[in-house]
Structure 1
Amino acid sequence: MIDELRRLEENVSKPVPLVKWGSYLSERQWATVREDYSPDGDAWHYFPFDHAHCRTYRWGEDGLAGISDYYQNLCFYIALWNGKDPILKERLFGLANYEGNHGEDVKELYYYLDNLPTHTYMEYLYKYPQQLFPYEQLRTENRSKSKLDPEYEILDTGIFDNNEYFDVLITYAKEDDEDIFIKIDITNRFTAAAPITVLPTLFFYNRWQHSPDSDVPSITLLNRNAVITDHYRLKTNYLYFLNADDRWFTDNETNTEIITGTPNKSIFTKDAFHNAVIKKKNITDLRKRKTGTKFAAVYNLNIEAGATKTIYCRFSNELLKKPFYKGFENIFNKRKKEADEFYDFVLPKKINDDLRNIQRQALAGMFWTKQYYHFDVERWLTTGDGITPPSASKANGRNSDWKHLKNQDIISMPDKWEYPWYAAWDLAFQTISLAVADANFAKHQLLLIMREWYMKPDGQLPAYEWNFSDVNPPVQAWAALQVYYIEEKQTGKKDVQFLKKIFQKLLINFTWWINRKDVKGNNIFEGGFLGLDNIGVFNRSFNQQGNIQLEQADGTSWMGMYALNMMDIAIEIALHDSAFEDTATKFFEHFVFIAEALNEHNLWNAEDSFFYDVLNVAGADPMPLRIRSIVGLSPLFAVSNIYAWELNKLRDFKKRITWFEHYRIVNNKFWPNEERSGDSEILLSLIRKERLVKLLNYLLDENEFLSPGGIRALSKYHLEHPYSTTVDGIVYSIQYDAGDSTSNMFGGNSNWRGPVWMPVNFLIIQSIRKYGKFYGDSLTVECPVGSGNQMNLEQVADELTRRVISLFEKDAEGNRKLYEQYNWFYKRPENQHLILFHEYFHGDNGKGLGASHQTGWTALVAELISEYGGKL
């Protein structure tokens, strides 16, 4: 049996399917909401990057290429110094939200090369400049640019032009779950020798500062090549290292002199290694000290041009006489081979090496971005952080109605730097990519967010820590089905018990939507934000004063999709447990009522043949907001197939829906799209065939939604035809932005105004493929519009898939669309295999934009490659 599959099987029997040690360390803890104790909720200013090296955290830790146990008691990471920088490179640098012309943005070059679900083998590549790191240059240039300018990136600074940098490759290979070999390869890419200081660092998460009665853990020197740890929550552990130039101890304590102006109790503060390496301060004291809560082995290297030097460490819970036994290096080759065997098994065979590499790095990113997340909202609201006392304004401020939320888990993150906090709808997409390699963990993640320490008692799911009450599209039922089918496809296993578990929680959430977001009780939903920052002409989460109501085409469509997904889950369970058959009927009826509302209550604009949000103002006619966006295409998402054999087995369900159909048709009531094939397969969808074709005419028009890299979020039509409307005397406008948004509606780098986003492309492709499997060649459309090329809908889905995949793959010249003007760097031999997974992509040229490591949902490209298989 493949070794990693065996390890995953062992995980299944655990209450939580996790190994003890993994890549759970955040890449940014500073400037997060949970570390913000300011009275005004300004997280970016309260805990800036410049404090991170000398100020302890309250709710977690961060570090470069790090690992920790699953409660983050003990952490390990790599620190670097090139002989010129003003601070140690201990964590990734990026711009705070107010510093960038398009908001927060990491400004480093790093890559997740490999990772197994059990973290038995992991590779992380960091590119470290040999010249002064351009901290201020990046801040100054980005701050000076307008919203109309692109971001100023680290490759624009020139420090990588002449290959004057180090490749730092960190590899972890486990002997067993609590015995980990660590290899740090530092390669000098420049044409001359260069110095570098490397500090493999071990430290404890500082919980004791907020728990005065708890024991303070310790790291103590065992001998010149080892330290021993003592922590009341952990077994004894040892860090072994070879040939270090020095061994330093300090404590993970805030430098109060810098942060608050209060004298330090001792010189042994969090930034002591920083002071010793760069300022040459207190080196003798650090060397003489033999214990502390933070330790580093120090290596002062000089590396010749083109050469590589290697540092080995070993972290283990065993006291070993010979930790680096003869031939120990072979563990890295062995685990690499096991990783190759595992991915050869789970990934498709009939694809080229470039596509296989894209898939592998996408999945590696998913496993590197599993993160320890700790946040007790009630405690956060009522206590201080040791620097700022509790604030009265916080008691009624951000997230004050989420006191039940007490999170302390390993969670899949969208991006451990840009978004080092979970987001409910991001997580749903993330589980699909996770399921390809670890379906058990994917199922656990979906169930986790439904647990009582996440879900509000009334059924609302937490959105994200900046505002847990924001409303995201309810895609969890859809994701649960996707994960269920992926696992069945891979293993033949039908985990009906998982569907039953999540179905019970989804019932509560569905009821919350019905009770809270359907104000008039007419099945028209006003979800608000719905995850689509900046796609509206104004902020849809803002409650307009007076008698104003926004009826949302996408809110209604998401709920139609939700009802249909719940029906599908109920049918699947009912095939094994007839007690759920009645529930399938219930959700079928919900779907019918929502479909009626979407199609009959002003949301469909007959003049334009498109769905729009509708603004209702007291005393005026309903006003459609005639914006061609993903909002109007979202009705495509709700489509399902019911097969004859299912209906024959579920006789009560068949009887009830047949009666319901007859009743509504006889009484001249709306009936949704229901078409039957020759073998009695039923297609259910929110929109009828003629409206489907009209929407596809927009979707497949290159002057509207269709781009070289997939479907745009906003039609290119609005480049020449901006849309404006006036509400209460205020003019609101929107136009197509192919790249970063020129609107500051949501701040940051939020932008749905034109770029290609992976999640909606994935949904569109899946939906069109479902339509295509039903209609076959009986329905063809022109693709692209104006080309004269007729395709059936499965072929359309293939074409959209091909375009999305083309964002990542090399063309004939070795360029990748996502790198655009930076292809010069990624065509170098040592870089041509490196892939980034951006948050979104330029609507005209496919350049990667936004967060650069959002494998969270952009890793869906791995599943698209699997679906498309050998067609490329």
Structure 2
Amino acid sequence: MTDSENTHTSINAEQARLQSSAAREVPLPLWGPYLSERQWGTVREDYSPYGTAWDYFPHDHACSRTYRWGEDGIAGISDYNQLLCFAFAFWNGQDPILKERLFGLNNTEGNHGEDVKELYYYLDNLPSHYYMQYLYKYPQRAYPYDDLVKTNQSRNALQPEYEILDTGVFDNRQYFDILITYAKNNDTDLAIRISVTNRYHQDASLYVLPTLWFRNQWSFTPGAPHPSIERDMHIQRLICRHPVLGTYWFYYPDTEHILFTENETNTARLFQYPNATPFVKDAFHDVIIHGKWDLLKDRQHGTKSSPVYALNIPAGQTRSLYFRLCAEHSLSEHTPIDEKWIETLIQQRRQEADLFYNQFLPEKPDPDLANVFRQAFAGLLWNKQFYHYDIPLWLDGDPLQPPPPPQRKQGRNHTWRHLNNHDVLSMPDKWEYPWYAAWDLAFHCVAMALIDPVFAKHQLILITREWYMHPNGQIPAYEWNFSDVNPPVQAWAALQIYRLERSIRGEGDLDFLKRIFQKLMLNFTWWVNRKDASGNNIFEGGFLGLDNISVFDRGQMHAQGGLLEQADGTSWMGMFALNMMEIALEIARYDRAFEDVATKFYEHFVYIAESLNSLELWNEDDGFFYDVLNLPDGRKIPLRVRSIVGLTALFATSVLNMEHLKALKDFHKRARWFRNYRRKRNLYMPEERTGDQGLMLLSLVQHDRLIRLLRYVLDENEFLSPGGIRSVSQYHRDHPFCLTLDGKTYCVDYEPGESTSRLFGGNSNWRGPVWMPINYLLIESLLNDYLFYGDSLQVEFPTGSGQWMNLQQVATQIGLRLISLFKRTDQRGRKMFGPYAPFYELPENQHLLQFYEYFHGDTGQGLGASHQTGWTALIALLVQRFGWQET
């Protein structure tokens, strides 16, 4: 059966491809959107003495300097080893450089940290990457590089960021819409169409350079092969030869100019050291921008090549170009560049994508919400990236390069010598965060599980493999500091993936649960041994991914002579223990050997719950959980900040069926003894039971305290915003919390937008905005509590309104508020776009979405990274669950 015939079988074509992919050792298509949006300014490329990555490899170097560990480009693709890369470059006749990559500010240039300053959109993608679409908006006037840098640098942290739309360069629709579409004929045969629309009222010209290049390995590794791209002198074709990847052919439309150069550093430009050859990485800039056509006119081979197309596009018109990249052995009977055939293939793949995504939606969905759903997954899939980082080699240096400075031997990540990553991973945002983050990835996998559970499971397992996880059991946080501590949400994610796959396929993957459970046992032990300094089941996770949520850097308290016992660190560990118990109980239904360890986690959960509720973390007067600072002189100071630090206890909740537990005789017997023992001695037990339904609720927060916490959560003057639950209560707008310690005063107040603190770079803010993953965890927990309480527990929504709801209804209302951030209204556009809504109300822009890192706590405007369709892709699951209900 041919691939195209699969569309008429009982399962749709994409499902068939995913079934085939699942049988592979690595469930990954050979070709995909694995090219980063940014490689410069990353830790991997930093060989400076003191870890100043942004300064060592700035954007200005990127066009001229060879990368060591990966490549980047606009709307790019590569094979999964990133040997051969393809992306588009452009020139509008005005810019000082070719537009080969997306521009943004580095961490010191932006008044709120690093930030991409481009307009680009992930419109569509399939898990197999048989169909992908990407839209890039390119100004026809000179790109305002200097204006963006200088104006942002002149602004302080209290002012908003200066965005690309603020510069005026897109005014009067004086820009190109560049729509790039990929459609696979098979996994090694890709059709490519680029359609350029002139949105301006006058004719405009644009250079288009479809660029192929090989990642440079030969300059770093002795004996590494030196691949080549050369021109076929008989037909319009480039021949790309690599001894590992094989031979690929690139077919292109007729053109006067085809450029060849080498992927080699221009040392003369950057370091005032003579080039060995004029054929350097940025040679195309000299040719196109400075008119030095003679420089490369006789060059017919290299490791980087591009045909050149000078398009003159009438006002309001569209010009399209067609290309084809295919392995030598996969060429079909079709004419290599047959525009009609490529259009037919694209249409077929689009229809297959429609069939695939429509299976998750109601029969007649709201078109706007269906678009939110689809683009959320498009972004999640476009954010796959090849990631290569060999720590021993990075620390010691390459044989063919100068040795790194000696400082790095005791510098960043020097204790992670076991780490050697060479994989395709789901990234938070391929420009702002082009590196994996452990707790981000867990949320990515939960969203991914709906459309590609096999890849989701693979990613979660991968992060615990021996070339990632530290021998001591710590999961690496992110490349800026692998030793930082992220919330341990992997067990929760594993359960979510297991249950989601079971609900779709009728059975869960027990082998996956067993594999992840074994590795997470190591991680749990690391937490207990390393992050419970007093041995009292109160944890000091430190940073915990919440950047600047406290009055000071929570990861540095030991150095200041105190110990910060964290309400959220303890709650995350309670959740971890509870999730591990649930996993063990599920496996024990089929393998009784897991009953013992289920009991271990049950008891550990009880101990953590007791400590959280019985020691100083719960403030009875306020009815809230707080961090407590223990000072060397014996003072204990509660940090009375009403934030999600005190709400994380709500996330640890599990409803068990007592009849099911009775079948697990050893667990049931031990748990009953343990429970009776503690009750006889009036010790804390974090459980409730229903007599009629035979259910047991295990929770860090029991009935009365749950109600007290929810009064804060659902109060519009506290946590409840029009767009979801804030990370810090609005109460602190007028009542900041301040602490004076050793003569220095620390304060935290409510900041609904960008951060005014430079802790952890200042490019994300946990002091007030709405964060999707936290809201998702809260919604899941409320729904879980509802399974136990039903209508017997009702709370006011909003607090003080006199309107009472059960917890399922509350979860629904929070979900709808989150959806409202994305949903278009005829009067105001979308909340997420804030003051830029008028631009997105232009006819060509009304369907466009971005998936921000977080959202303004008052207005709902999107902030932080603009393409964090990692954890913000969770909105797709909320749309599927709540989107079709009336607000």
Q: Under TM normalisation by the shorter chain, which class is it?
A: over 0.9
Q: Does 1:449 align with 2:463?
A: yes
Corresponding residue to 2:244 among 223, 233, 236? 233
Question: Does the 8 A contact of 2:214 with 2:303 survive in 1?
Answer: yes
For 2:118 and 2:632, how far apart are their aligned partners in 1? 52
Shift of 1:486: 1.2
Query: Match for residue 282 of structure 2?
Result: 271
Question: Does the 8 A contact of 1:228 with 1:236 survive in 2?
Answer: yes
Shift of 1:728: 2.3
More displaced 10-residue stretch of structure 1: 821-830 or 483-492: 483-492
Q: Does 1:850 align with 2:861?
A: no
Query: Match for residue 43 of structure 1?
Result: 53
Q: Does 1:96 align with 2:106?
A: yes
Q: Does 1:421 align with 2:435?
A: yes
Corresponding residue to 2:739 among 725, 729, 746? 725
Corresponding residue to 2:216 among 206, 220, 227? 206
For 1:384 and 1:263, how far apart are their aligned partners in 2? 22
For 1:860 and 1:294, how far apart are their aligned partners in 2? 38
* Normalised TM-score (structure 1): 0.99
Shift of 1:741: 0.7
For 1:171 and 1:426, how far apart are their aligned partners in 2? 28
Distance 1:370 1:546, change over 3 A: closer
Corresponding residue to 1:589 among 593, 603, 612? 603
Query: Match for residue 206 of structure 2?
Result: 196
Amino acid of the structure 2 residue aligned with 1:434: M
Paired residue secondary structure (2:781):
helix
Paired residue secondary structure (1:288):
coil
* Normalised TM-score (structure 2): 0.97
Q: Does 1:251 align with 2:262?
A: yes
Corresponding residue to 2:291 among 280, 287, 293? 280
Query: Match for residue 6 of structure 2?
Result: none
Question: Does the 8 A contact of 1:673 with 1:687 survive in 2?
Answer: no
Question: Does the 8 A contact of 2:428 with 2:436 survive in 1?
Answer: yes
Question: Does the 8 A contact of 2:222 with 2:400 survive in 1?
Answer: no
Q: Does 1:122 align with 2:122?
A: no
Q: Does 1:324 align with 2:334?
A: no
Q: Does 1:473 align with 2:483?
A: no
Shift of 1:645: 3.5
**Residue correspondence of structure 1 range 535-554 to structure 2 within 5 A:** 535-545=549-559, 547-554=561-568
Question: Does the 8 A contact of 1:640 with 1:685 survive in 2?
Answer: yes
Query: Match for residue 174 of structure 1?
Result: 184
Shift of 1:730: 1.8
For 2:550 and 2:414, how far apart are their aligned partners in 1? 27
Paired residue secondary structure (1:66):
strand
Shift of 1:542: 0.4
Paired residue secondary structure (1:599):
helix
More displaced 10-residue stretch of structure 1: 617-626 or 79-88: 617-626
Shift of 1:327: 3.1
For 2:826 and 2:317, how far apart are their aligned partners in 1? 31
**Residue correspondence of structure 1 range 707-726 to structure 2 within 5 A:** 707-726=721-740
Amino acid of the structure 2 residue aligned with 1:230: R
Q: Does 1:112 align with 2:126?
A: no
Amino acid of the structure 2 residue aligned with 1:772: Y
Corresponding residue to 2:71 among 40, 61, 66? 61
Amino acid of the structure 1 residue aligned with 2:536: N
Query: Match for residue 305 of structure 1?
Result: 315
Question: Does the 8 A contact of 2:816 with 2:883 survive in 1?
Answer: no
For 1:868 and 1:486, how far apart are their aligned partners in 2? 16
More displaced 10-residue stretch of structure 1: 474-483 or 814-823: 814-823
Amino acid of the structure 1 residue aligned with 2:120: Y
Q: Does 1:345 align with 2:356?
A: no
Corresponding residue to 1:864 among 863, 873, 878? 878
Distance 1:132 1:69, change over 3 A: same
For 1:764 and 1:289, how far apart are their aligned partners in 2? 60
Amino acid of the structure 2 residue aligned with 1:362: A
Amino acid of the structure 2 residue aligned with 1:578: R
Distance 1:192 1:661, change over 3 A: same
Paired residue secondary structure (2:645):
helix
Paired residue secondary structure (1:249):
strand
Q: Which digits, 9 at most, give the CA deviation of each residue in 1:317-368, with x for residues without a partner?
A: 1375831247312111011111111111134445311111001000000110
Q: Does 1:398 align with 2:412?
A: yes
Corresponding residue to 1:805 among 796, 814, 819? 819
Amino acid of the structure 2 residue aligned with 1:303: I
Question: Does the 8 A contact of 1:348 with 1:869 survive in 2?
Answer: no
Q: Does 1:464 align with 2:475?
A: no
Q: Does 1:74 align with 2:84?
A: yes
Question: Does the 8 A contact of 1:64 with 1:77 survive in 2?
Answer: yes
Paired residue secondary structure (1:526):
coil
Query: Match for residue 641 of structure 2?
Result: 627
For 2:462 and 2:670, how far apart are their aligned partners in 1? 34
Paired residue secondary structure (1:586):
helix
For 1:277 and 1:736, how far apart are their aligned partners in 2? 50
Query: Match for residue 4 of structure 2?
Result: none
Question: Does the 8 A contact of 1:226 with 1:240 survive in 2?
Answer: yes
Paired residue secondary structure (2:211):
strand
More displaced 10-residue stretch of structure 1: 501-510 or 653-662: 653-662
Amino acid of the structure 2 residue aligned with 1:656: R
| RMSD, matched Cα | 1.3
Paired residue secondary structure (1:802):
helix
Query: Match for residue 715 of structure 2?
Result: 701
Corresponding residue to 1:830 among 844, 865, 877? 844
For 2:440 and 2:690, how far apart are their aligned partners in 1? 35
Amino acid of the structure 1 residue aligned with 2:625: F
Distance 1:30 1:677, change over 3 A: farther
Q: Does 1:163 align with 2:173?
A: yes
Amino acid of the structure 2 residue aligned with 1:835: L
Shift of 1:390: 1.3
Paired residue secondary structure (1:208):
coil
Paired residue secondary structure (1:238):
strand
Shift of 1:648: 2.7
Shift of 1:388: 5.8
Name the % identity. 58
Distance 1:280 1:388, change over 3 A: farther
Q: Which digits, 9 at most, give the CA deviation of each residue in 1:198-220, with x for residues without a partner?
A: 00000000000002322210001
Amino acid of the structure 1 residue aligned with 2:807: L
Distance 1:413 1:727, change over 3 A: same
Q: Does 1:777 align with 2:801?
A: no
Query: Match for residue 25 of structure 1?
Result: 35
Paired residue secondary structure (2:54):
helix
For 2:500 and 2:284, how far apart are their aligned partners in 1? 48
